[in-house]
Amino acid sequence: MAKALSNYKPRPAQLAMAHAIQRLLNTSRGRLMIEAGTGTGKSLAYLLTTLNANQKILVSTATKTLQDQLFQKDIPLALKILGVQKNVVLMKGRANYLCLLKAEQFNPTAELIDGQENKRIDAVRSWIKKTETGDRAELTVLPEDSPWWNDLNASADTCLGSSCPLYADCFVTRLRKSAQGAEVLVVNHSLLCADHRSDEPFGRILPKVDVWILDEAHTLEDVATKAFGMEITGRQMRYLARDLRQISPLIAQTSQTQFLEACEAILPLFTSIADHWEKQEIAGFVQELQPKLAFLEICLTSAKQELLSRRLHKISTELNFMLSPKTEHSGFVIFSERDSRGQVLSAAPIEPSEVLKNTLWAADNPIALTSATLALNRRLEPIQSRMGLSCEGLILEPPFDSLNQAALYTPANPMDLESEIKRLIDLSQGGTFVLFTSYRAMNSTYEALKHTLENQGLLVLKQGDAPKLELIARFVEADKTFGAVLFATHSFWEGVDVQGKTLRMVIIDRLPFKSPEDPIHKARCQLMESRRENSFFGLSLPQAALSLKQGVGRLLRTDTDRGAVAILDPRIIQKGYGRLFMEALPPMTRVDQFEKLKEFWGDGWA
């Protein structure tokens, strides 16, 4: 490392982590959990050790953005240091890849686009002709919630499998073949969990490897909850109804009228079920919908429409599961929400620990889990328990002098939120993340301060206005000249690495407790209370403390960084439980008055 890296410094914690990984490799089914603080260099610690041992490895991380970072930056650097070459394959879920058959038929309907989308569609058509991977990450012009990517992606619902005329050239087919020969496979937690679902229609797609490294492991609990659950969306039903109408001429004439009537009815009936879920006034809608789904499935089978029949059967099966009285006693919570996909009806395991025991932890290979935020009060047992895992643990301190590098500003009686944020930004002159616990607070504060800050010459950015990586690039570039401020919510609390003076202030509006009305969190709390356990101290508080630790961790990324974190929620000072939040954070110079913060700030970052 010293020969390959000009800025190399020995890091005892990095070496300790490498030794722990080495010991794990000498076991057949060992399990190891490591909290390695920011700045440890954990990715190089596990990569250099496993690659040097000539192990075939699977590295799984939390997001597609972090996958790209591993694939494009961390792994090439590790291979350069070792002076070796390895076959490295990046693999995401099927829905991230272009379907060649759909691409041939691509013709977005007017109901799904508007005039502003035409340029994007032209860019997509150009991309289709030249892409070598089919990975939608290459499509920087395409918003994450694009309504017509479903018309192009290779999702399992619409895949013909080996009967597809373009099967041999399919990006997913080629990727699976590449994965079989990979020496290093980079995936995400969602794909890893989905690959272990018993109902995966195409069977296992990830090959057997020598060792798994699960990075950003603190996210695994929530990812597994979603991945091992199920959901039916309004958008999914809309596309199904559209595709059913399109094949109606192939249905026997004696059934066509009834078939079309059923097609037109399924979407509004599903919407009615989802809309009335909380009120439980759904019996009539269910009684009307289920026979229509059964009739449609019979017609599709008779017409030999195997693919549509499979999609319809899956939806029908999942809906029956959600509606069954037995489901509420099977460890699942059923709930309905609305998002960009319309109304969404979901079923999720209340405790993912049992399903993880029977899936990921049953693997016949060593597994290392690591993150900068796993322990609470130097204990790993709480998160291990929630994950259904009992294993060796190691906690490594970050190699920073955080007490002198950073101030923690916690005003006991802050000004109103907008005024407090404004004077903090005036102090930092840009280089600031303003992190919120809700979109509503983010949007209202952004609108209130945007023009004032722009008039001061600052670039003002907001999450959602552009893809995450593009926002970070704009933030970094702007701060070289006139300063930048980014308003953001949960997706910027973690997985963001902005080093040096560019990020010198992190402002957090409130302690990140999960909403008590969040359906999954609510169900977990109720389950704990039924066991006579305190859900606040046993669940809500530990989760919030780890989230705060993640947000605060955005500030210090190297041992030369300097700056301040401002937590503008007086509960951290006024409530008894505030002590637990403080203990979860790295030691910083604590100040409770703005004038004292100005003294700490001095000239260093001005």
- Among 151-160, 266-275, 310-319, name the one with the lowest average pLDDT: 151-160
Nearest to 195 by CA among 206, 185, 184, 186: 206
- What are the Cα distances from residue 481, in Å, to 238, 476, 478, 497? 48, 10, 6, 20
Check: CB of residue 388 under 8 Å from CB of residue 353.
yes
Indicate the pTM of the whole model. 0.88
Residue with tokens 């190399």: 8
Check: CB of residue 18 under 8 Å from CB of residue 370.
no
Q: Tokens standing for 550?
A: 């993640």
Q: What is the pLDDT of residues 513-568, one digit of tens each?
A: 999 989 999 999 999 999 999 999 999 999 999 999 999 999 988 888 899 999 99
Q: Tokens standing for 162?
A: 């080996």
In the predicted model, is pLDDT for residue 263 greater than 90? yes
Amino acid at residue number 595: E
**Length of the chain, in residues:** 606
- Among 192-196, 401-405, 465-469, name the one with the lowest average pLDDT: 465-469
Q: Span 87-97, mean pLDDT?
A: 92
Q: Tokens standing for 30?
A: 């060992």
Nearest to 389 by CA among 344, 418, 425, 357: 357
In the predicted model, is pLDDT for residue 149 greater than 90? no
Q: Which residues contact 455 (CB under 8 A, 6 or more apart)?
A: none
HSE-up of 429 (CA within 13 Å, CB side)? 11
144, with CB counted inside 10 A (0-12, 13-18, 19+), is exposed
Q: Residue 606 has what pLDDT? A: 47
Q: Span 573-593, mean pLDDT?
A: 93
Strands of the sheet containing 332-339, edge to edge, are 230-233, 342-349, 332-339
Q: Residue 55 has what pLDDT? A: 87
* 326 vs 130 pLDDT, higher one: 130
Q: Residue 109 has what pLDDT? A: 57
- Its sign, for the CA torsion 70, 73, 78, 79, is positive
Residue 18: left (phi > 0), alpha (psi -120 to 50), or beta? Answer: alpha
Average pLDDT, the chain: 90
Q: Residue 191 has what pLDDT? A: 93
- Residue 151 DSSP class: G
- Percent of the chain scoring above 70 in pLDDT: 96
Residue with tokens 């998002």: 339
In the predicted model, is pLDDT for residue 200 greater than 80? no
